[in-house]
Chain A
Amino acid sequence: MENKPGALARVVGLFHQRGYNIDSLHVDPIEDFEPFRFIEDELGIKFQVGEVSRLTIRTTVGDRLMRQILRQINKLIEVIAVSDEESTYLKGILRNENLL
């Protein structure tokens, strides 16, 4: 997600608003962009150091609720991409989800 004031609060707040639980949470700015090149390629953008953060949240839910959580997070304006072990959502682009 964009490293902007308030962005983290939006993600955390969403979990509470929608009644999902957070087991653990970790956030830091991304320094090594190598694993994220595919996002840059797909969206046609270029990340600069300090601009984006990676947020890792552990939560225990079933598949259907997990899909709903990913979609809700993906909707937040400052989130660039969100994924779990199976699916990746980029803004406007959906990868790998066994969609309907």
Chain B
Amino acid sequence: MKIAGNDILIQSLINEGVEYIFGYPGGAALHIYDAIFNQKEMQHILVRHEQGATHAADGYARATGKPGVVLVTSGPGATNAITGIATAFMDSIPMIVISGQVQSHLIGTDAFQETDMIGVSRPIVKHSFTVDKQENIAQIVAEAFHIATSGRQGPVLIDIPKDLTNPDDLFDFEYPKSVHIRSYNPPVRPENHQVSRAVDAMIASERPVIYAGGGTISSNASEELRELNKILDFPVTNTLMGLGVFPGTDKRFLGMLGMHGTYQANMAMHNADLIIALGARFDDRITNAPDKFAPRAKVIHFDVDHSSVSKIIEADIAVFGQIKDSLQVINNHLKTRKEEIDHEKLIPWHEQINEWRNKHGLNHDLYKNEDDDSPILPQAAVQHIYQESKGKAFVTSDVGQHQMFAAQYYHFDEPRKWINSGGLGTMGFGLPSAMGVKLAYPDEEVICITGEGSIQMCIQELSTCSQYKLPVKIFNINNMALGMVKQWQDMNYDGRHSSISYEDSLPDFVGLVESYGHVGIKITKNSELKDGIAKALSLKDKLVFVDIYVDPEEHVYPMQVANGSLKDLWLGKGEKT
């Protein structure tokens, strides 16, 4: 059967099992939208801004593991998608972005809504394709999906000139059954010599730490990690991107490490004799000063990406491959050497860690305070959300203090439940990503923990939630200022609060969300927190926006001391280790 370029494109997506496509129409994408109109297998979600489309697709991808798909038009449609593409790139999230382009004969003429999208997006995509003729559309889509979802995952862009989707030109359509790209061959299984060296080091270690990041989640290696821990009984810390891959409530869990990580996680890393890095990339929010990082530790680095290993911290042993496959091999090896594994030897190390935990660990009982004379602590608000949602919700967040409080105080027991922009730190991510999660899991609780600064960066998506009936629950940790910036100004600029306040011009959030047909709840007292949050969660079919006024003076602690080692932490205002 012969079909046109626009139908080839849409049928190719359907062949890839795409359920939702997030987008916004415009001139160069009109033929494609006509093809969407003529089919039933895939639903298009019309957002209110292209940034929202990319974050929604991203949230869908993080929650499901399947690639999120975005469709935008040329020029401003494409450039509006840039922030969301960069967000997905930094966190290695599989995404397909299709951008319309002006007609082939107009390219390079500064035509209406023309932008060199391939050029603009080059540093923030894993790969990109320009469609050159209709006969290649199916092959390009198949290659794009293959690249986005294999190796170290990431966004792939397909730029398609309008004339190549013209409904009048017909071509044969057959979707490729498999894809092989000769210049692309990411490692899957590790090599034997790497594995046996890693196993030797694990067995010999007396002060080990497993440091698991986002790559452990994208490789779906949570089960293998839990099995590894069962065999070895090692303490585990997670990066911001890795939360949930190991149970947050497990006794061997140290909490998050890094800039705002727990005292015990950072101390354990600093004093370790062995660090087992799983799909984590030692970024600057983890290591603090690299030359002072974990001075006595041997490093085993598991990664699918060669260029991540020994980029910041030199690895002593490198294990290349998908984390899942590598851990399966490691676990099998360890089982054959069971009699050499000595749990007793680790007891002093576990005791030391518990001592650190008891000394300066986080207080998880702040929510028990119902005293209305003191302001609401943002940490307590997150603890209430955790309690009322029984720790089972998908939680998306934006960027800033509320994000760190959510990461510290909501304990994730399962991977893919914590959805946040770790690498790029994109404000505006929370609400649209929650939409993507809710579409993927309509029967699950989906919570967005945000702040009054971040939420206003993509607040237009409240309208999309109304259109598609997406009853996400938004908890706005409202401190009436850009809290994290303010914290840095308090600590590094003698409290000169430059451009962080908009207190007198904040909207009435309750009135605002009601104008979209949603429900708003305002909370200003500790005694209202529990019931207010419970009520929001009980309204199953409604988007509820809970505006929680918290103590504007609160800071996030612990916090790494700039250019220090992992043991150099601020523990409170003016209080250092």
Contacts and interface: CB of A to CB of B under 8 A. Distances in A.
Output the residue of B127, B147, B315 with the most chain A CB within 10 A. B127
A94 B185 CA distance: 12
Interface string A73-100: 0110111100000000101111000011
B130 A91 contact: no
B305 interface: yes
Nearest to A2: B183
Contacts of A72: 307
A68 interface: yes
Interface in A1-57: 1-2, 5-6, 9-10, 13, 17, 43, 45
A94 B316 CA distance: 17
A93 B186 CA distance: 9
Contacts of B182: 43, 45, 80, 91
A92 B126 CA distance: 17
A91 B183 contact: yes
Nearest to B311: A68
A100 B310 CA distance: 9
Interface residues of A, number: 28
A100 B316 contact: yes
Contact of B122 (A9, A45, A100): A9
Contacts, number: 54
Contacts of A77: 126-127, 147, 181, 183-184
A80 B183 contact: yes
Interface residues of B, number: 25
Given A2-B183, A78-B183, A71 B147 contact: no
B120 to A, nearest CB: 11
B465 interface: no
B185 A92 contact: yes
Nearest to A80: B183
Nearest to B182: A45
Given A9-B119, A71-B307, A92 B186 contact: yes
Q: Which 4 A-B pairs have the closest CB atoms?
A: A92-B185, A71-B307, A91-B185, A77-B127
Interface of B: 118-119, 122-123, 126-128, 130, 147, 181-187, 305-307, 310-311, 315-318
Interface of A: 1-2, 5-6, 9-10, 13, 17, 43, 45, 64, 67-68, 71-72, 74-75, 77-80, 89, 91-94, 99-100
Given A68-B310, A77-B181, 12 more contacts: A9-B122, A10-B122, A13-B122, A45-B182, A64-B310, A91-B182, A91-B183, A91-B185, A92-B187, A93-B185, A94-B306, A100-B318
19 contacts: A5-B130, A6-B128, A6-B130, A9-B119, A13-B123, A43-B185, A45-B182, A68-B310, A71-B307, A74-B307, A77-B184, A91-B182, A91-B185, A92-B186, A92-B187, A93-B185, A94-B306, A100-B310, A100-B318
